[in-house]
Amino acid sequence: MSWQTGLIKTILDPANLIISTDTAVVIADKYPKARHHYLVLPTEDIPNIFQLSKKHLPLLEEMHLLARNIIEVRGESWSEFQIGFHAQPSMQRLHLHVISKDFVSSALKTKKHWNSFNTPFFVPYETLYSRLKGEDCFQRLPTDIVNGLLASPLKCNKCEFIAKSFPMLKDHLQQHHLRKMADKKEAAKCSLTRILQKKRECLIETELAAVMKDAYPKAQYHFLVVPKEDISNVTAMTADHLQLLDHMKELANQIIEQQKNLPSSHFLIGFKIDQFMNRLCMHVISNDFYSESMRRKQHWNSFNTALFLTYQTAYALLRVQGFIEPMPEEEMQKLRNSIELRCNQCDFVSKGLVVLKAHLFTHWKEREDKFTIKDQVEKLTRILDETKLTPIAKVLEDQSQRIVPSKGQQQGDQQSPPASYLNTFASHFPRTVSNRSASSGNHQTNPNWQRANQNPHMNSNNSVFNQQFQHFSNYRLGHSPNNLRTSSHRPAGPGNHQTNPNPGQHAPKWRRANQNPQMNSNNSIFNQQFQLGHAPNNVNMPHQAPFNPFKQYPNMRQAAPNKNGSHATPQNMNNINGAECSPPLNIKQQGSNYSKPNIHKCLGSQQFANTVNQGQNPSQANKPKPFKENPASKTKAKSK
Ligand code: AMP
Ligand code: ZN
C-alpha cells in the first residue's frame, strides 16, 4: 500500500530534512501526536526494527545522537521527551520516534494513538539497543498481545488518573499542560531573584544592586540593573528610592562604558511599566533592537511606546510627585497590541514585526559598517602614533588634504598629521570619530526623543498616566532632569546618556536607510535572513566579535554551529504568554558528553518552528510566520 512508503517519499525531498548526516536524517512527524514529534530515519533502506542485528548498533547510536540534537535545536529539555520505536510499526523504513511527553495535539485522535506511546507497545531506545546487543535481533510481538496493548485502559502518563473516555484523557492532558506552563511562568517571574542569589551570573554587583545580562536580549546589547531591595516594579518606587535610582543609573553607565563597540548614545535606559518579572529591573538596551529574541509585536511595543518609561521620566516623576502612577490595564493592553510599529530610528512604519525587523537590519548593518571603518582608522592611527613614522604620516596628511577639507578641517591645520587624517574621515563618518565618551556632541540619535515626537500614544491626553508625560514633556524636549537630583556627588546625572542635543532632529544617516535598496522586499538574501529567523542573538553580547549575518550564514539553510559545538542555535520556543522564555537547553551542562554527529544540514530553527507549528512540511514554510503558542492544537493535519 502506498501510504506505507510515505516516510521514504518524505525523506527524498531535502527540504523536509531538519537535520541530515551521511547515515541518518531527522524529519517532523506529519501528524504530530504531541507538541514536539520528530522521526529519525537511516539513509540505508532498512524496512523496520525486525531487520536489525548487532551490526546496526553504531547506526542506532548515530540515530540517538540526532534525537538529542533535534531536542537541543528546539531548545527543549531532554527529560521532557521519550525516544523509542513502535513494537509494530505501520510505516516502512526504520524510524525512531522523538516525542514530547505532553501529548497535547489535535492529531492525537484515538485510544490507539495514545496507547502506542504509553504502553509497552512503545519500545524505548535503550530496550531495543540492549535486546540487539544480547539477542542479536528483535522479535515481533504476537498479534493478540499487540491488540491487547492498544486496547489498554487510558492511564495518564503523569499521574494515576485513568480516563473513562478518550476526550476525558485529552482534557486531562491539556490540564497538565496548562498547569505546567503556569508553573513555568511563575518560575520565570522569579528568575531575577534567583540570579541575584546566585551572584556568579551578575556582571557587576554592589551592596545595593547588580547588573546582569537579559537572558532573552531584545537587542544586540541588553542588560538589567536589579536592586537588592525587593521592589516589585517601577510603580512601587517612591521618592525615598531616588538615591537607589541614582545608584542604578551609575551601574547602567558602568556597563555601557564596558561595551567598547557601542557608544553610550546608542543605549536606552528605563523601565517597563507593564513589567512581567516580579522584581523591579531597569533595562539598559541598545537601540538597534536587532535580536532573534524580538519575536512578538508586544516585545517591540514594550520598549517603543509609552509602556517604556525612560529613566529620566521615572526620576522626574519620583522627584516631583513622589510616585509613579500605574497605567490602567486597558491602556497597557492597547499599547502592547499597537499595530503600527514605528521604527525608532527613522520615519518607517510597519504593520508587521517581520517587516520591521528587516528594516531594523538595514540600520544595524549601516551602523556596523561605520564601526568597522572607524576601527580600521583607529588601528591605522595607533600604528602611526606608536611607530612615529612621521614621513608616512606626512604623506597621509597630504593625501587627506587633497580630499577637499571641510571648513572645520581647515581650522585644524595645526593638528598633528594623524589627527588631521582622522578628521578627514570624521567628516564622512561623523559617528566614527575616536572619542566616544559622553560628550554631548556625540549623542545624535535617541529613540526616546523620536518617540515622543512621533508616537501618537505619547501625546494622547486620556489618562492620568499620559498627563504625567505631558507634564514632563519638557524633559522629553531635551531638558535633562539633572537639576532635580538630590545627590550632588553623582558624576553622571540622569539624562547624561539619553539627552538629545537636537530634539526632533534625527541623525541623517538613519533617514537615508529608508531609501536603502536592501529595503526592497524582493532582495532574497536579505529576506531570507529574517524568514529563517537568523537575526543575531546574544552572540555579540559583550566581548565577542561583531556578528555578521552574511558571513556566518552564507547559505540560509545551513545553521552555524553554536557555542556548544552542535549544529544549530538552540532556540527557545517555550514562550509563555508572550513573556520571557525558559533557558535554552545546554546538553553539555546536563552532564552528557555525547559526541557530535557529522551533520550536513540543519534548518534554521525558527523556520523549523514555523513548520512544525503550522503542521506543514518545512518546504512550505518559506514565508515568515509568527510563532504561535500551542502549535499542536492549531495543526490542520489529519490523523494517519
Ligand atoms: P509508526 O506507527 O511507528 O509506523 O509511525 C509512523 C509515523 O509516521 C506516525 O507517527 C505518522 O504520524 C508519521 N507519518 C505518516 N506519514 C508521514 C509522512 N509522509 N511524513 C512524515 N511523517 C509521517
Ligand atoms: Zn494526569
For the stretch 64-75, pLDDT in tens is 999 999 999 998
Mean pLDDT (the chain, rounded) = 71
Q: Which atom of ligand 1 is nearest to the CA of 107?
A: 12
Confidence class for position 260, pLDDT limits 50, 70, 90? confident
pLDDT of residue 374: 85
Q: Is 95 a catalytic residue?
A: yes
Pocket around ligand 1: residues whose beta carbon is below 6 Å from it?
6-7, 10, 27, 29-31, 39, 86, 89-91, 640
Q: What amino acid occupies position 316?
A: A
> What angle in degrees, to the nearest 10, is found between the helix axes of 353-387 and 390-402?
130
- Among 95, 247, 497, 534, the active-site one is 95
Q: How far is the CA of 104 from the centre of ligand 2 (A)?
A: 12
Span 179-226, pLDDT tens digits: 999 999 999 999 999 999 988 889 999 999 999 999 999 999 999 999
Q: How far is the CA of 165 from the centre of ligand 2 (A)?
A: 14
Q: Among 4, 29, 41, which residue has the most ligand 1 atoms within 8 Å of its CB, making it the best to mutate?
A: 29
Please tell me the residue having the least CA distance from ligand 1 atom 1.
Answer: 89
Helix (H, G, I), strand (E, B) or coil at 448: helix
Span 232-251, pLDDT tens digits: 999 999 999 999 999 999 99
230 pLDDT exceeds 70?
Answer: yes
Q: Among 3, 4, 7, 123, which residue has the most ligand 1 atoms within 8 Å of its CB, making it the best to mutate?
A: 7
Q: Which atom of ligand 1 is nearest to the CA of 3?
A: 16
Q: How far is the CA of 4 from the centre of ligand 1 (A)?
A: 9
Whole-angstrom Cα distance, residue 605 to residue 71?
A: 11
Q: How far is the CA of 29 from the centre of ligand 1 (A)?
A: 6
**Which one of the ligands is nearest to 6 CA?**
1
Please tell me the residue having the least CA distance from ligand 1 atom 16.
Answer: 6
**Which one of the ligands is nearest to 102 CA?**
2
Q: Hey, which bits of 315-362 come out as E strands?
A: 341-342, 349-350
pLDDT of residue 549: 29
- Assigned C-alpha cell, 463: 489618562
**Which one of the ligands is nearest to 170 CA?**
2
- Assigned C-alpha cell, 38: 520528530
Name which of 408, 485, 424, 448 is nearest 265 in CA terms.
448
Please, are residues 176 and 161 in contact by the beta-carbon 8 Å criterion? Answer: no
Q: How far is the CA of 578 from the centre of ligand 2 (A)?
A: 26
**Which one of the ligands is nearest to 612 CA?**
1
Q: How far is the CA of 158 from the centre of ligand 2 (A)?
A: 5
Q: Please state the rounded mean pLDDT for residues 244-272.
A: 94
pLDDT of residue 402: 58
Please tell me the residue having the least CA distance from ligand 1 atom 8.
Answer: 29
pLDDT of residue 401: 59
| Secondary element (H or E) of residue 224 | strand 222-227
Q: Which atom of ligand 1 is nearest to the CA of 97?
A: 3
pLDDT of residue 385: 83
Please, are residues 256 and 438 in contact by the beta-carbon 8 Å criterion? Answer: no
Q: Among 12, 31, 96, 117, which residue has the most ligand 1 atoms within 8 Å of its CB, making it the best to mutate?
A: 31
pLDDT of residue 46: 97
Span 457-471, pLDDT tens digits: 433 334 444 444 443
